[in-house]
Amino acid sequence: MYDKILVTLDGTPTDRAIIEHVKNLAKLAHSRLVLLHVADGWAARTYGPDAVSQEIVDDTAYLHKVQSELQAADIPTDAELAYGEPADQIIKWVENKGCDLVAMSTHGHRFLGDLFLGATATRVQHRISVPVLLLRAR
């Protein structure tokens, strides 16, 4: 049913909720996971894949750490780093590479928080045709 699941990570503690959830889902569905983090600092937004910054170093290390954890649990997992505005890059990834499900943690902001902080999950779910699993982190 879900051959390939895109798991978006933002590098915050809220990631643990979606990681634990998709770990079980991937085992049940025999899915391949693709971890995607979008670097969105100044260097990443300005230089894209040519960016060199501590953010990029830290983000890459984080992705590899989560990837190793999932692979140790016998879950086939790839990891990718994108650059720019998170919602736009997630949408672009889904359109270009395809998947059967997008899994995201949400921060649980309410109206004003979404207005000022952006609502990545909301933007993504309304602009793609793939099912989206949203898990509110506590």
- CATH number where 114 lies: 3.40.50.620
- Residue 99, sorted as left (phi over 0), alpha (psi -120 to 50) or beta, turns out to be beta
Q: Could you tell me which of 23, 22, 9 has the C-alpha nearest to residue 62?
A: 9
For the question of whether the overall pTM of this predicted structure is more than 0.95, the answer is no
pLDDT of res. 138: 72
pLDDT in tens, the chain (138 residues): 899 999 999 999 989 999 999 999 999 999 999 999 999 999 999 999 999 999 999 999 999 999 999 999 999 999 999 999 999 999 999 999 999 999 998 865 554 444 444 478 888 988 999 999 998 877
The total number of structural domains in the chain stands at 1
Residue 25 has a CB neighbour count (10 Å cut-off) of: 20
Residue 39 is part of which domain span?
A: 4-136
pLDDT of res. 108: 57
Q: How far is 53 from 20, CA to CA, in rounded Å?
A: 29
Q: How far is 63 from 91, CA to CA, in rounded Å?
A: 19
Q: How far is 66 from 9, CA to CA, in rounded Å?
A: 10
pLDDT of res. 97: 97
